[in-house]
Structure 1
Amino acid sequence: MFPYHPQGYPFPYFNYQRVPHGYYYPPYSEGGWGWWHGALESDESRRLPEQQRLTFVLVHGSWADAHFWDGIAVVLRSQGHAVYTPEYAGHGTDPNKNVTHAMITKSVVDFIIKLNLREIVLVGHSFGGSVIQKVAEQVPDRIKRLVFWDAFVLKDSESVADELPPPTRQGFEQLRAGSKDDTIMLPFPLFRDLFVNTATLEEAKRFYTSVSPEPAKPLFEKLDLKAFYMLPTPKSYVYFYQDNVLPQGEGFGWNPHMSTRLGQFRLIVGDGDHFTDTRTRPDMVAKKLYEAGRD
């Protein structure tokens, strides 16, 4: 359904060794999303008063790794915030793609506990929304606020795949069946139209070099979320209204379809798509995440 022809997109891979160290905290070696070259952390004029500074833990979604957050993390740190970007099982350069949703959740929980992080603003993007739902069940006392950015908010006993339109789910099932390691690789035409629809073609091609096959199993696992829906943790939803990954209306979409499942929540909206703005406008994304996470 989504023909994938890797030989048709021979874009040179970016030299990720140039990403400044200390901007991410993966348990594996360096992955593939970072190409931020900003130099904001020394700009004292950007720093907020100490009482306004937050501790962010940023959890990426599918077809990405912890480098996804590099530019945003630089901006937030330049303002005085503490920012952590854990990598999780099956991603980055972890060679094992035979992972479960529970293994992914455990990666983030272990990271938070190991660093003894508290009063955190836990942010999940896309698939990362389902991850922070499960993380919140395990370490609720360490979380100040949950922030879902164009992210899945699954109902109890639901999988991420359950929230996909039938044609998209069928296409993913076909791609999964055709893989040799139970992964799903995004075809470039799908990535270009749904994930980076506001980017130029040149940008889209460059961004696509960072996309790697996604472990399929966690996308299709149904999650027990009864405990999540009992949590009193404050919640926010950040919605970029040009995000085209999920169709809007007809029982799908990010907002209000996902967001209203949170009960009482703070809504922050922005002009952007699913992936592009992390690279082209990290200041804007950082501003929205701060607005979602602040008191």
Structure 2
Amino acid sequence: MTRFVVVAGAWLGAWAWDEVVSELRGAGHEVHALSLSGLAEKQGVPAGQQTHVQDIVDEIERLDLRGVVLVGHSYSGVPVGQAAERIGDRLARVVFVDANVPVDGESFLDSFPSDFIRKSLDENGGDWPPLDPADYAGQDLTDEQITRIVTEGTPHPGAALTEPAVLAYPLADLPATYIKCLLDGDELPAPVDELVERGRWELVRMNTGHWPMFSQPSELARILVESATRS
């Protein structure tokens, strides 16, 4: 039995993991899905990136979890990566699902050309609104799944995107698996590419889009369980 803590990316809450959680619990594992401050049922709570790091650390400590496989999707890879080093020996492994990863001193928006997001923050009171339905095309999602993501998603707090990450140790020190979703492109973000090439992190590829918890929940659950065995 493995203990998983799963955290979704921008605009999403714990609800995004419903099918994966069901698969993992059905296989006998313990799973805790977490909504970050300012999102989903916590909408309206002021939050920055370090708030999100603390959300994750607090949840693990509150539940007194040990041997944790910590899973971060997309944006949440940035706070998940920081939380992974802060929980110390409570961590068994961290899994990044088509995710950004933290770089000390850099923000989420520093990691890619992001002028369009900064413009959106300026136009929307400092928050990043969910994407339009057309932006999910070609990502292996049904119309019903796209509708759910768009209608249940909530604006993402801008401070979480602009605050810098704080790391005490190199990312290479984390026992990690990186899942690359190929319909979202096959290039690995820096510094993941180097860590995988050097054999420090495991790489798993999925032939699906950026939201595999919706498009391929059973396969994602299987990969998470296999990754846990490498801890």
TM-score by shorter chain over 0.5? yes
Q: Which runs of 5+ in 2 are unaligned?
A: none
Residue type at the aligned position of 1:291: E
Q: Give 1:71 deviation, angstroms.
A: 0.5
Partner of 1:223: 165
Q: CA separation of 1:177/1:111 partners in 2, compared to 1, >3 Å: closer, same or farther? A: same
Alpha-carbon contact 2:208-2:215 (below 8 Å) kept = no
Partner of 1:286: 221
1:240 paired with 2:173, answer no
Q: CA separation of 1:228/1:71 partners in 2, compared to 1, >3 Å: closer, same or farther? A: farther
Q: Which runs of 5+ in 1 are unaligned?
A: 1-52
Cα separation, 2, equivalents of 1:236 and 1:89: 25
Cα separation, 2, equivalents of 1:230 and 1:268: 18
Q: CA separation of 1:171/1:230 partners in 2, compared to 1, >3 Å: closer, same or farther? A: closer
Write out per-residue CA displacement over residues 189-232 of structure 1, whole angstroms, 9 at most, x where no aligned residue: 56324xx622244542343212221111111111122x131773
1:157 paired with 2:90, answer no
The structure with the largest alpha-carbon Rg is 1
1:58 paired with 2:2, answer no
Pairing partner for 1:177 from 106, 122, 129: 122
Residue type at the aligned position of 2:57: V
- Compute the TM-score of the two structures, normalised by the length of structure 2: 0.89
Alpha-carbon contact 2:175-2:201 (below 8 Å) kept = yes
Partner of 2:193: 260
Partner of 1:186: 130
Q: CA separation of 1:96/1:175 partners in 2, compared to 1, >3 Å: closer, same or farther? A: same
Cα separation, 1, equivalents of 2:51 and 2:189: 29
Divergent runs of 4+, >6 A = none
Q: Quick one: higher RCO (CA 8 Å, sep 6+), 1 or 2?
A: 2
Q: Which moved more, 1:203-212 or 1:53-62?
A: 203-212
Cα separation, 1, equivalents of 2:55 and 2:141: 32
Cα separation, 1, equivalents of 2:203 and 2:221: 15
Q: How many residues are matched?
A: 227
Look up the SS of the partner of 1:212 in the other structure: coil
Partner of 2:72: 124
Write out per-residue CA displacement over residues 89-119 of structure 1, whole angstroms, 9 at most, x where no aligned residue: 1112224353111111111111100110001
Higher helix share: 2
Q: Give 1:241 deviation, angstroms.
A: 0.8
1:210 paired with 2:146, answer no
Q: Give 1:258 deviation, angstroms.
A: 4.4
Q: Which moved more, 1:152-161 or 1:56-65?
A: 152-161
Write out per-residue CA displacement over residues 72-97 of structure 1, whole angstroms, 9 at most, x where no aligned residue: 01001111111111222111222435
Write out per-residue CA displacement over residues 4-45 of structure 1, whole angstroms, 9 at most, x where no aligned residue: xxxxxxxxxxxxxxxxxxxxxxxxxxxxxxxxxxxxxxxxxx
- Compute the TM-score of the two structures, normalised by the length of structure 1: 0.71
The root-mean-square deviation of aligned C-alpha atoms, in Å, is 2.1
Residue type at the aligned position of 1:173: R
